[in-house]
């Protein structure tokens, strides 16, 4: 659909939630992404983001978990293709090898424009996110 990734990052600013856009993320290193998000967070805190910082975007990531959110359905901001909502990590019971054990769990919620993204692709994306969260080395090894 697009040959670039401009990712909106929802950040709590001095006057509420704002979504600055990281441009051409596909060309950035992990360190560049982290640094740029930190810069945007500082600008947002001081209400110093510029209108062009908030325009465009192909996809947004929102972490309601930092505010205690357990689960929500994030809303796509047109013309973006989707939004990924991350939620609080909490210990929950799960079945593992026939036993009930307590493990840290986090719910993810993906909302997407079905005119642009096929359901199979969306599920594959969520599965990849799950695998990277469970084994972060995959991100750096590009597995």
Residue 32 a catalytic site member: no
Sequence-separated (6 or more) residues with CB below 8 Å from residue 3: none
Which of 3, 32, 118, 135 does the annotation list as catalytic? 118
Q: Is 3 annotated in the active site?
A: no
CA distances, 116 to each of 38, 42, 58, 80, 121 (Å): 30, 33, 11, 10, 10
Report d(CA 40, CA 117) in Å as an integer. 28
Query: What is the total residue count of the chain?
Result: 143
Catalytic positions, please? 114, 118
């Amino acid at each position: 659909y697009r040959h670039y990734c401009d990712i909106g990052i929802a950040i709590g600013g001095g006057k509420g939630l704002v979504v600055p856009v990281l441009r051409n993320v596909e060309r950035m290193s992990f360190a560049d992404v982290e640094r740029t998000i930190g810069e945007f967070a500082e600008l947002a805190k001081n209400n110093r983001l510029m209108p062009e910082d908030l325009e465009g975007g192909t996809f947004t990531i929102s972490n309601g978990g930092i505010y205690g959110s357990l689960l929500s359905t994030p809303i796509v901001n047109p013309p973006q293709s989707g939004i990924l909502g991350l939620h609080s990590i909490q210990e929950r019971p799960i079945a593992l090898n026939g036993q009930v054990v307590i493990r840290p769990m986090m719910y993810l919620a993906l909302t997407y424009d079905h005119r642009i993204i096929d359901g199979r692709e969306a599920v594959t994306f969520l599965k990849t996110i799950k695998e990277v969260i469970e084994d972060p080395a995959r991100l750096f090894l590009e597995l």
